[in-house]
Amino acid sequence: MKISVRRMFGALAGAMLLGASALASAEPLKIGYSDWPGWVAWEVAIEKQWFKEAGVEVKFEWFDYVASMDAFAAGQLDAVTMTNGDALVTGATGAKSVMIIINDYSNGNDMIVGAPGVESIADLKGRKVGVEIGFVDHLLLLNGLAKAGLTEADVELVNVPTNETPQVLASGDVAAIGAWQPNSGMALKLVAGSSPIYTSADEPGLIYDVLAVSPESLSARRDEWRKVVDVWYRVVDYILDPETHADAVRIMASRVGVSPAEYESFINGTRILTLDEAKQFFVKGEGFGSLYGSSKIVDEFNLANDVYKDAQDVDAYIDGSLTNAR
C-alpha cells in the first residue's frame, strides 16, 4: 500500500479555475480522496450505499494524494481530503477551502527513524538527518528537537524525497530519516537495528486529516454537506464498533490491495476521531489540541520555510458548525 505523499507544497496551476468549479453542475457532490486510512474509511459508506440512504448524491473520485489537491485546485471537485497544513498551502496558492470534518490525526504513522545505535532525538545533535524539507515530517522533526532542547541548527538537514528515505537510511549517510508510512515502515524493515525515535503519537494533533470543501459549494449546498457529515460519523461508529471493526478493515484493506492484517497496523497509526473528540478539536485554542492552534503552528512553519509568502487567515479555513450541530 502507498500512504501517499502528504506534501505541503502544491503544484496548483489550475487554481484560478476554481470559480467554474464542479458545483456548477450541482449534482452529485464530487469528493477527491486518497489512500490515507482516515480517508480510505469513506469506502465503508460507499460500499454500504449509506449516502443513498442519507438522501445525498456523492461521487467519490480516487487519486494519488497530490493529484487530488491539483484536481480540487483546478475546480474539478467540490471537496478533497487533505491535511490541515495542505489546506493552507492549497489556499495560499489560490484554491481556498473550508475544513468541515476532522477525520483523524496521525498517531504514529509519521516517524523519525534512527539508524542503529541512535536511540533518541538527543542523539542527533551534530549529525545528519534525511527529511523532505518543508513537508510534514520536517515539522515533526522540529517538534521532537524542541522537546529535546535542540533546534534545527543542532542537526544537518539533508533534503531527501520521502519515498527515498529508506534507501538513504540504509546507505549510512544519515543518522536518521523522517517519513510516513509506508516509507517509515520500509526503513525499519530495510535497516536492521533501526528504530522509531519520535513519532506523531508523541505530539497528537501535529497533523490533522480533514475533509476540505470549496467555500462556494459549502455555501450553495450546505444541507447536502450536513448529510455527508452525518454519514461520516456512521462510518466512524462502524469502524470503532468491535462487532463491525473487522468488516470495516476488510473493506478498507481491499480498496488499497493489502491484507486486513497488514492494514490493521496502519489504522493503529491513525487516530480516527469520534464525534465528541472532533468537537473538542474544533474549539478555538492554542497548541496542537485544537485544529485552530495546530493550523496556526503549521502556518508559521510554512512561512519560515518559504512554502508561501503571506500568512493565512486560519479561522477562515475552519467551520466546525456542521459537526457541532450533531
Query: How confident is the model over 20-68, as pLDDT tens digits?
Result: 444 444 689 999 999 888 999 999 999 999 999 999 999 999 998 889 9
CB 78 within 8 A of CB 29: yes
Within-domain flag for 139: yes
Write down the pLDDT at residue 65: 83
**List of residues 6+ apart from 276 with CB closer than 8 A:** none
Please indicate, yes or no, whether residues 280 and 175 belong to a single structural domain of this protein.
Answer: no
Task: Please check the confidence at residue 147 and state whether its pLDDT lies above 60.
Answer: yes
- Report the pLDDT averaged over residues 141-152: 95
**Grid coordinates 524525497 are at which residue?**
161
The model carries a pTM of 0.84
The share of the chain scoring above pLDDT 90, in percent, equals 77
Say whether both 272 and 238 belong to one domain.
yes
CA distance 290 to 279: 10
Residue at 138 is within a domain: yes
pLDDT computed for residue 23 by the predictor: 47
d(CA 209, CA 85): 9
Query: Which residue among 184, 202, 220 closes a domain?
Result: 202
Radius of gyration of the chain (CA): 19
- Give the pLDDT mean for 276-305: 95
Q: Are residues 246 and 172 in the same domain?
A: no
Last residue of a domain, one of 202, 231, 250: 202
Domain holding 279: CATH number?
A: 3.40.190.10
Task: Give the integer Cα–Cα distance in Å for 51 and 42.
Answer: 10
| Shared-domain flag, residues 277 and 303 | yes
Parent domain of 234: 29-106+206-325
Closest CA to 166 of 126, 130, 127, 196: 130
Residues 312 and 211 in one domain: yes
Q: What is the mean pLDDT of the chain?
A: 90
Point out the least confidently predicted range of 27-31, 248-252, 300-304: 300-304
- Please indicate, yes or no, whether residues 102 and 117 belong to a single structural domain of this protein: no
The average pLDDT across 136-149 equals 93
CA distance 231 to 146: 39
Residue 188 DSSP SS3: helix
Domain assignment of residue 34, yes or no: yes
Q: What total number of domains does the chain contain? A: 2
In tens, the pLDDT along 191-239 reads: 999 999 999 999 999 999 999 999 999 999 999 999 999 999 999 999 9
Cα distances (Å, whole numbers) of residue 228 to 32, 126, 197, 233, 294: 14, 49, 38, 9, 24
- Predicted local confidence at residue 185, as pLDDT: 86
Q: What is the pLDDT of residue 6?
A: 53
Last residue of a domain, one of 168, 202, 236: 202
Q: Are 154 and 222 part of one and the same domain?
A: no
Strand partners, 179: 111
Residue 15 to residues 1, 150, 216, 245: CA-CA distances in angstroms? 29, 38, 14, 39
